[in-house]
Amino acid sequence: MRLDRYLSKSLGISRREAKRLILSGRVKVNGRVAKDPSVSVDSERVEVDGGKVEKPKEKVYIMLNKPPGFVSSTRDIEPTVLDLVNHPRTPELFPVGRLDKDVRGLLILTNDGWFAHVVTSPKHHVEKEYEAKVEGDVRNALKLLEGVTLRDGHFAKALRVEIIDHEKVRVVIDEGKYHQVKRMLAAVGLNVKDLVRVRIGRLTLDVEEGEWRELSEEEVRKVVER
């Protein structure tokens, strides 16, 4: 593996930042300063500013169709989403963001902290699409396009709203506040009876409820690239 890629994966930084570290003379390979970002490393001892850099772990990205009744956590007295996944690296995995215990749908599990940050950080504007079954006048959901102020004072606005039928709506947001879609719909007089997340970024849910599969590199890019 190239030295700049090794540092990028191990430290969770960009390749450009890794190259800056190397060219500034702050990186050593087997005790010698390495200034060539393309040098190949594998089992060699790599150091940055005198501290050892551990060999990067294989990154894993899993699509899970979360059923109701499971907590989006790694540890809990109740069943967690990790209980649904039989993968060799399951102990390293954590959910990217959360789905409430009663909410269904697309949840990504990974061991990649940088990826999780990009998906959940509001500044990166990664879209999340939900389908909701509601009680009330579904036409009220269109008010979410103008934005609503939630009880905690947070202003929330939907990117897109589509009325599917007399009791179902589709809502797209690019945030992920606590209970956000439920609270947004409640703010316009709609009570959520069922909620499912069907898309994150450009990645659409395509496995049965309770099932999971690994994502390809192309699919991972679909999540974070607009």
CB 81 within 8 A of CB 107: yes
At residue 85, the 3 state secondary structure works out as coil
- Domain residues for the domain of 143 are 127-200
**In the annotation, is 100 catalytic?**
yes
pTM: 0.77
Given 15, 34, 52, which residue is the final one in a domain?
52
CB 219 within 8 A of CB 203: yes
- For residues 216 and 61, what is the distance between their CA atoms, to the nearest angstrom? 8
Given 30, 52, 74, which residue is the final one in a domain?
52
H/E stretch holding 116: helix 113-120
Number of domains making up the chain = 3
* pLDDT tens string 70-111: 999 998 888 999 999 999 889 999 999 999 999 999 999 999
What sign results for the dihedral spanned by CA atoms 124, 174, 220, 45?
Answer: positive
Which residue among 4, 36, 49, 100 is the active-site one? 100
* pLDDT tens string 166-218: 999 999 999 878 889 999 999 999 999 999 999 999 999 999 999 999 999 89
Same domain? For 65 and 99 the reply is: yes
- For residues 77 and 211, what is the distance between their CA atoms, to the nearest angstrom? 22
Instruction: Assign residue 69 the CATH number of its domain.
Output: 3.30.70.580
